[in-house]
Amino acid sequence: MKTIDVCLSPDLMHLYQVNNRTVVVVDILRATSTMVTALAHGAESILPLADLENCRKKGMMGYITSGERDGVKVEGFDKGNSPFEYMDKDIRGKKIAFTTTNGTQAIEKSKEAKEIIIGSFLNLSSVVNYLLLGENSVLIVCAGWKGRVNLEDTLFAGAVVDKLKDYLGPDCDAPLAARHLYSMAKPDMQKFLSESSHVKRLNKLNIHKDFEFCLTIDKYKILPRIKNGLIVA
């Protein structure tokens, strides 16, 4: 039987063997939600990068430079990390070089995986259907915040585990914990997350609408995955 596990922080990746697994990387607020949005609006590809300098260099090669540090758009970059910046026509057919505080680092730490897909609430059903039909066991990698666990990525993991519970057995207790948390949060996720650390951070930056948007379930029917180092739809 295929199994499912949840890595609650990228700093715990050394505990997991991923070369035979499909890894789902998730950073609900906001990196993977923004990636899904950009690809749903026609971006050609996203090059995930861990560091700023490489991203700047790609800018000189015609890429759109995108990303943030501590939630704030990087000085000199074309775009930040709000999904609302990736809905216009100017994104269509473009290559994006993207670096964020946690999301792109989580992708980097997952690079030994058999395959990597990108998850968010915005494309929840596409992720679940793909995992259901696929032949690999699954690891959901929560981006967290600078190595610490966060609530919103854990809730996404819980939602996936919940939908697949009759088909994929849990590998340890993290999937069970995530599922129980999700069942508590499900009736009102916004309220459940209102005291969470990153929501407070985003509120200080005045970007509450990003928070609301990123909790929208199944806004897009796409499944971004990594091919030759690029995220494509």
For binding to ligand 3SL (CB under 6 A), which residues are involved? 27, 29-31, 68, 71, 81, 100-103, 143
Gap between the Cα atoms of 229 and 223, Å rounded: 16
Q: Which is nearer to ligand 3SL, 191 or 204 (CB)?
A: 204
Token pair in block for residue 170: 């849990």
Q: Which is nearer to ligand 3SL, 66 or 137 (CB)?
A: 66
Q: Which is nearer to ligand 3SL, 10 or 170 (CB)?
A: 10
Contact of 41 with 208, CB cutoff 8 Å: no
b/e sequence 40-67, b meaning 16+ C-beta within 10 Å: bbbbebbbbbeebeebbebbeeebbbbb
Q: How far is the CB of 86 from ligand 3SL (least distance, A)?
A: 13
Residues 6+ apart with CB under 8 A from 163: 124, 128
Q: Which is nearer to ligand 3SL, 4 or 202 (CB)?
A: 202
Q: Which amino acid is located at 72 in the chain?
A: V
Contact of 208 with 201, CB cutoff 8 Å: no
Token pair in block for residue 142: 């929560």
Q: How far is the CB of 68 from ligand 3SL (least distance, A)?
A: 4
Q: How far is the CB of 101 from ligand 3SL (least distance, A)?
A: 3
Gap between the Cα atoms of 9 and 2, Å rounded: 22
Q: How far is the CB of 200 from ligand 3SL (least distance, A)?
A: 11
Whether the link from the prior residue into 69 is cis, omega within 30° of 0, is no
What separation in angstroms does the CA of 94 have from each of 47, 89, 130? 11, 10, 26
Q: Which is nearer to ligand 3SL, 137 or 150 (CB)?
A: 150
Q: How far is the CB of 100 from ligand 3SL (least distance, A)?
A: 3
Q: How far is the CB of 162 from ligand 3SL (least distance, A)?
A: 24
Pick from 195, 205, 198, 203: nearest CA to 80: 205
Q: How far is the CB of 106 from ligand 3SL (least distance, A)?
A: 8
Q: Which is nearer to ligand 3SL, 10 or 175 (CB)?
A: 10
Gap between the Cα atoms of 66 and 56, Å rounded: 9
Q: Which is nearer to ligand 3SL, 58 or 198 (CB)?
A: 198
